[in-house]
A and B are shown apart, each in its own frame.
Chain A
Amino acid sequence: MNTILHQLKNNGLVWQGATRMPQRPSTPTAPEDYLATHIPGGLTDHPAVEIGSPAGIGELRLLLPKLRANAEDNNRLLVWIGPPHKPNAEALHHAGVALSRVLILHPKTAKHALWAAEQCLGSGACHSVLLWHSRLNVAQLQRLQQAAGRGQAQLFWLHDQHSLNPALPISLSMDLQPHPEGLQITVRKCRGSWPPAPFIIDMRQHWPKLTLTDPVASSQNLIIFPGSRAS
């Protein structure tokens, strides 16, 4: 084959429609998955998700429904690797995350963090891994994604910059910006479809106190149940 094509392929600059990911036994899309209406399938079916976001705007709240869905019907672990702050047991418990299945790792070096992430993803003993890590190269990411496929786990890679390298072979990559109603999301890359135009996630229903405009005020006659409990 053409050497230039080869190079392009090896660097992950070409996406080929023919090389579809092997079909994983897909978990059903979480009913509260905020992204489901904008990206086909929502967060499901992506072994690795890159999230570039400033801290504290709702990046974890965006993932909570998916984390809950992943934890359903199994007793696998949710692993936090190198979180910038201490996870709050109260909030997690309130959000429906089983604390007994939360494992927090504080590796001393970045190398150890990546090794731990690969072990966790490939072990089959974890359903999701949250990894705070500033930079990943193509080879590292590919190893992590393969491990995630092996262990049927999902990797959420969080960092506080804009999505770094468009050539990274990641299956879903997005940038998060604060917005009065919740979050503004720019999808940089989405395997299997064109990235949609930037859209806004409305968190007014689920997190009314963490948005600037209150939906109750705008529709006076309706009283909305707290979202996460609504049946």
Chain B
Amino acid sequence: MASELWLYLHFPSLQLDSLYADQQHPLVVVDKTNNRVIQLNEVARERGIRPGMGLGTAASLDHALQVAEHQPHTEDEKLYELAAWLYGCTSDIALCSPNGLLLRAHPMLSLYNGLRSYWQALQQRLAPIALNYTYACGHTPLAAKVLARQGYTLVTDDAEVLLNALQRCPLSVTDLSAKQQSQLKRTGVRYLSELLSIPGEQLTRRFDHELTLYIGRLTGRFSHPQRFYYPPAVFRQTLTLLYGIENTQRLLPPLNTLLTRLEEFLRLREKLTSRLQLELVQQNKAILEIQVESAQAEYQASHWQALIALKFETIQLSEAIHAVILKVTSLEDKQRQTEDLFLGRQGKQTPLQLMSVLQARLGKDALSGITLVDDFRPEKSSQYCPAHRNDLPPSGTRVATMRPLQLCDPPVTLHEKVSLRHGPERIQTGWWDGHPVQRDYFIARSIQGQWLWVFRTPESHWFIQGIFS
């Protein structure tokens, strides 16, 4: 079993580090059940605040102290995001709730040509995320975990060094329950070295099965199967804001961090998306859903940023926003965009990009194309369609010659006196689909000189169908 090597990353202040807040002020995360400080930033530490301190004591040390409530589920989500991020450079990752990641290192060593360069790659990967973490190797998952939680920063595969380090660890950093720990403490066992020196048969006789199992897994005598992370097919990330934001424009900078991660997500998968779903979580947990669409699928954060900024101009927030969730569920494959080499790009935008911009501000309904349908009824032959989806009319489509450029839809009753210049042209059709028409069309000129396309129904009612503008 000595050939196995595991690497454990321990994030002691996961929630605190992932809060979107400036770290210039003292900031602590407090466990609500017992009102004790469990995570704190560097500024708070300078002011004399320590982990485990009561909230009252901490607040008396600094009046400007900012306090956030500990939320285990946000840490879980963050852990999941971290696993997704690290998946880019290591394969087997197990999530150890609440704040650790376990990496199976030995299969990666031949790829990275040694532990040192593997660790360098991981460090580079972790650098942009700006989290505090401790790390340690171990020949079993539990050994690595204990060492990392003790605060080691130890990357080596030397069995002796690891064993020495392990033996110096107190029982408090192990996964043993408080009851087991106090039981051991009463028998004089305080450090792992003392626990590991107890022979196996004595252990089973004196302590319960769980302890034996733990020791067995720690030393590698028992196997310890892990459930590894598998990357999801969709993008979903949450960003919790430290304080409520009521102005949409001020939501943009925090959103940028999410968009940048989305860009990375899409880039790694060679995918594009044409729709973002934003969920803005309000104080009372109500969720404001916003859809941002782009006519041309994109992955770049800057493109989405511009569209979201436009979308936000039309949105009024009634309540402060406390968290932002960005979801992307439909991914598209990258496709080559054809561009004429000789014409070049004649502007900054392609037609589809322009439509994305217009759509974001004006709404989707404000844009349309127009398409030709093979029908004799004018109101049916010319139809609005989604912008840029209008296909070429099938060749051989019958096209009437004298038709007005603009249609009144629905037709308007004719009130003024006109002179009929040409006609009639009878259109009698549609008896099969429930909209039968029998109309005699004329080209008419009004007294003001307007050219109108008018028709007469069998009941001798006159309507204006179009104008020859």
Contact = CB atoms under 8 A, between A and B. Distances in A.
Interface of A: 54-61, 73-77, 83-95, 98-108, 112, 115-116, 119-120, 122-126, 150-152, 177-179, 207, 209-210, 212
Contacts of B401: 94
Interface in B371-393: 371-373, 378, 381-384, 387-388, 390-393
Interface string B417-445: 00001100000000000000000000101
B403 interface: yes
Contact of A123 (B347, B381, B403): B347
Given A86-B406, A92-B405, 18 more contacts: A56-B450, A56-B452, A60-B405, A61-B468, A61-B469, A86-B408, A87-B405, A90-B399, A99-B392, A100-B391, A108-B363, A108-B366, A112-B366, A115-B361, A119-B354, A119-B358, A125-B354, A126-B354
Contacts of B370: 86-87, 89, 92, 99, 102, 104
B367 A105 contact: yes
Given A59-B469, A61-B469, A102-B390, A88 B361 contact: no
A74 B372 CA distance: 22
B351 A89 contact: no
A88 B403 contact: yes
B357 A119 contact: yes
A84 B353 CA distance: 26
10 contacts: A56-B469, A61-B469, A74-B343, A86-B382, A92-B370, A99-B369, A104-B367, A105-B367, A123-B354, A150-B347
B369 A116 contact: no
Contacts of A86: 370, 382, 384, 406-409
Contact of B393 (A57, A99, A103, A125): A99
Choose among A85, A98, A107, A207 the residue with the greatest number of B CB atoms under 10 Å from its CB: A85
Contacts, number: 192
A69 to B, nearest CB: 16
B366 A83 contact: no
Given A100-B392, A151-B347, A105 B406 contact: no
Interface in B441-457: 443, 445-446, 448-452
Contact of B405 (A61, A98, A101, A212): A61
Q: Which 6 A-B pairs have the closest CB atoms?
A: A124-B347, A178-B449, A56-B467, A56-B450, A89-B382, A85-B406
A75 B339 CA distance: 10
Contact of B354 (A77, A94, A95): A77
Contacts of B404: 88, 91
Interface residues of B, number: 63
Interface in B108-149: none
A175 B350 CA distance: 34
B355 A103 contact: yes
A99 B393 CA distance: 8
B314 to A, nearest CB: 10
A222 B254 CA distance: 74
A147 to B, nearest CB: 10
Contacts of A85: 406-409, 466-467, 469
B401 to A, nearest CB: 6
Contacts of A106: 365-366, 368
A178 B382 contact: no
B469 A107 contact: no
A88 B383 CA distance: 8
Nearest to A80: B370
